[in-house]
Amino acid sequence: MNEVPMRLLRPFQTIAIAAIVAAGGAGNAAADGEFAQFDLSPDTFTGVLSAQRGRFSFGTVYSDYEDGSDLNFTLSYAVPLGDPQMPVTLRVGPALQYERLETWKAGLRVVAEHYRPTEFGNIFLLGEVSTIDRAYFGLASLGLRDPGLAFELTHQGDDDGYRETALAIVKPIEGTALSLRAGYKFDAEEVFVGMSFNTF
């Protein structure tokens, strides 16, 4: 099978994995949940899968790009800081990367995140740094109750020279845990589409 059909199949594989994880998580505490997301563009595919149980979280990210593929695994422990009703959550733990599916790298990952409900919807902020390639990732999300949309601005990079800034529009599918995504990558100058699954 050639490269294009394989790339088109990966989103369905990601959603299938998310559904399996969700089915296995039935009956968890309210704070627990699962998240899956994929973004597909002409030259890249990114799939994210994570699950939280109590203060522990496990995540994996697969990235397929023109020059190769990377697979990342993370395990973290959460420490809430500040207001118990709307804390800043600090997550710390080990990270493992299978770079280009050839070389293993290990490191430490630190994440800070904050969710705040508002009169118009919600705000979600996340910042992440890793000792692997000195990678970093930032996300700012603005959710609007009316018209039921969210806008996400992300920026990421590492010491290998990778940089990307993207803007996405997210539309939840009413009555489900699914959302449709579409956006634009400014550095790559390309449009992407995707889907996410969120039970948090």
Other Cβ atoms closer than 10 A to 20: 11
Percent of the chain with pLDDT over 90: 78
pLDDT on residue 31: 64
Q: Which helix (H) or strand (E) holds 47?
A: strand 45-53
Contacts of 120 (CB under 8 A, 6+ apart): 144, 145, 146
Digit-coded pLDDT (tens) for 12-62: 444 444 443 333 443 333 469 999 999 999 989 999 999 999 999 999 999
Residue 67 confidence class, pLDDT cut points 50, 70, 90: confident
pLDDT on residue 84: 85
pTM attached to this predicted model: 0.81
3-state DSSP assignment of residue 31: coil
Q: Is the peptide bond before 147 cis (omega within 30 degrees of 0)?
A: yes
Residue 66 confidence class, pLDDT cut points 50, 70, 90: confident
User: For residue 76, which of 48, 46, 53, 97 has the smallest C-alpha distance?
Assistant: 53
CA distance 158 to 134: 5
Structural domain of 177: 3-198
Percent of the chain with pLDDT over 70: 84
pLDDT on residue 158: 94
pLDDT on residue 155: 98
Q: What is the identity of the amino acid at 165?
A: T
Report the domain count for the chain.
Answer: 1
Other Cβ atoms closer than 10 A to 5: 8
pLDDT on residue 28: 39
Helices (H), the chain: 3-24
CATH code where residue 142 lies: 2.40.160.40
